[in-house]
Amino acid sequence: MLTTISQVGDHIGKEVKMGAWLFNKRSSGKIQFLQLRDGTGFMQGVVVKQEVSPETWDDAKKLTQESSFYVTGMVREEPRSKSGYELTVTGIQIIQLAEDYPITLKEHGVEFLMDHRHLWIRSPRQQAILSIRNAVIQGMYRFFDERGFYKVDPPILTPTAAEGTTNLFHTQYFDEEAYLSQSGQLYMEAAAMALGKVYSFGPTFRAEKSKTRRHLIEFWMIEPEMAFVEHEENLKVQEEFVSYIVAYVLERCRPELERLQRDVSKLENVVAPFPRITYDDAIELLQKEGHEIKWGEDFGAPHETAIAEKYDKPVFITHYPAEIKAFYMKPDPGNPQVVLCADMIAPEGYGEIIGGSQRIDDLALLEQRCKEHDLDVSAYQWYLDLRKYGTVPHSGFGLGLERTVAWICGTEHVRETIPFPRLLNRLYP
């Protein structure tokens, strides 16, 4: 049985065999230091000339960056090393000596790294980010499972738009036109009427001509939908959810956060409840600070950042004007110009991580809104049906996985938070 780097602590003083790649190598004449990686972690193997066979010494010498091999050795505790352990190598069995590896330890330009994304993900930094992404996903599943939500999988090929028609990805569905899903929400509303509390997690697609550090063309969204839940409770679920995920990552990914040099004190602060500000108050605040923005306009990244800077936790911006939000959002009974919605803005300038709302549950109003948004009502018959057969107040939200991971990791750009980013002008690799 092979051991992994993450398990060596269980084998102190014993001989283990591992499958590994060479991340880096240093040599000081009679000793070679092999930086090993195996996906579970990184650790140092030490090859001492006097203690190994001439073949093992020569094999170690031949190893190039990213060569693959089996390595046997004794596990030793080593407080000076990052992993806390070191391997005294006794044998090496080469699988392949890698060709000249394009990603060296020097600095590379972003486009070069993106062209080599299939290899770039092997680096310690990328391994840390992808491992935190995994923890966010696992934490998310646990949160909803503990609260009795059903996971429901909406389709990816759809006949209708959920989030406006401007950024749809068109595709051919035999003789019909179809779109790649922008959001599973409409289907999750149907599922909530069947199962009560549901959530989906899947890829969503937006043909957005935005080249910013927050936009992906293909991103993953978590979309809970809850029957009998209104605006206020929807916000409670969101702040609990985000606090839970952050705590989950803090508990499991300390070494990774450290590798990313993340200031964890900022994350430790993320505990519900979160502050709230209405759209009206946010506009006033921005105007006071000299931003050129009028009531009725949507916020851009600089506006979101200016608002987020006032708080050390994520902040909800609530009650946006109906005209700049999606057709399905329920008007505020006290002021129908605005809707019962909220965007959650992450701290430190990471922007909107959640969009959510209470949904219109009245048939006539929903039909009217469809028409106002130039939607072909006949294509939404199934969605309108939900308001004919036992309609109930219901709410939900969508959390963008990559923006959330970017914020938790403290990475500048969302392109590093998804294994193979699809960006404007990038479909390769």
Which residues bind to Mg ion, rule: CB under 5 A?
A: 355
Give strand pairing partners of 351: 346
**Is 158 exposed, middle or buried (CB count within 10 Å of its CB: 0-12, 13-18, 19+)?**
buried
Range 333-372, binding ligand 4AD (CB under 6 A): 352-356
Query: Is the separation of the CB atoms in 88 and 44 below 8 Å?
Result: no
Nearer to ligand 4AD, 43 or 191 (CB): 191
Instruction: Tell the smallest beta-carbon distance from residue 26 to ligand 4AD (Å).
Output: 40
Q: Which residue is nearest to Mg ion (CB)?
A: 355
Candidates 45, 154, 314, 396; binder of ligand 4AD (CB under 6 A) is 396
d(C-alpha 248, C-alpha 132), whole Å: 10
Candidates 51, 78, 115, 208; binder of ligand 4AD (CB under 6 A) is 208
Interface with ligand 4AD, residue 235, by CB under 6 A: no
Question: CA geometry: angle at 161 spanning 159 and 165, to 5°?
Answer: 125
Candidates 127, 403, 411, 417; binder of ligand 4AD (CB under 6 A) is 403
Q: Which residue has the tokens 């809970």?
A: 224
Candidates 20, 193, 216, 242; binder of ligand 4AD (CB under 6 A) is 216
**Taking CB within 5 to 8 Å according to partner kind, which of Mg ion, ligand 4AD, none is near residue 346?**
none
Alpha helix stretches (DSSP H) within 63-157: 110-115, 117-120, 124-146
**Taking CB within 5 to 8 Å according to partner kind, which of Mg ion, ligand 4AD, none is near residue 89?**
none
Nearer to Mg ion, 325 or 387 (CB): 325
The site map against ligand 4AD for 123-162 (x = CB under 6 A) is ---------------------------------------x
d(C-alpha 275, C-alpha 59), whole Å: 60
Instruction: Tell the smallest beta-carbon distance from residue 163 to ligand 4AD (Å).
Output: 5
Q: How far is CA 28 from CA 32, 34, 46, 48, in A?
A: 6, 12, 11, 10
Interface with ligand 4AD, residue 260, by CB under 6 A: no
d(C-alpha 84, C-alpha 77), whole Å: 6
Nearer to ligand 4AD, 206 or 319 (CB): 206
- What lies within 8 Å, CB to CB, of 26 at 6+ separation is 32, 33, 35
Q: How far is CA 261 from CA 36, 43, 258, in A?
A: 21, 19, 5
For 298-324, give the DSSP string: PP-HHHHHHHHTT-SS-EEEE--BGGG
- The span of 18-26, 191-199, 215-223, 308-316 binding ligand 4AD (CB under 6 A) equals 215-223
d(C-alpha 163, C-alpha 397), whole Å: 13
Interface with ligand 4AD, residue 402, by CB under 6 A: yes
**Taking CB within 5 to 8 Å according to partner kind, which of ligand 4AD, Mg ion, none is near residue 219?**
ligand 4AD
Interface with ligand 4AD, residue 163, by CB under 6 A: yes
The residue ranges that bind ligand 4AD (CB under 6 A) are 162-163, 183, 185, 206, 208, 215-216, 219, 221, 223, 352-356, 396-398, 400, 402-403, 414
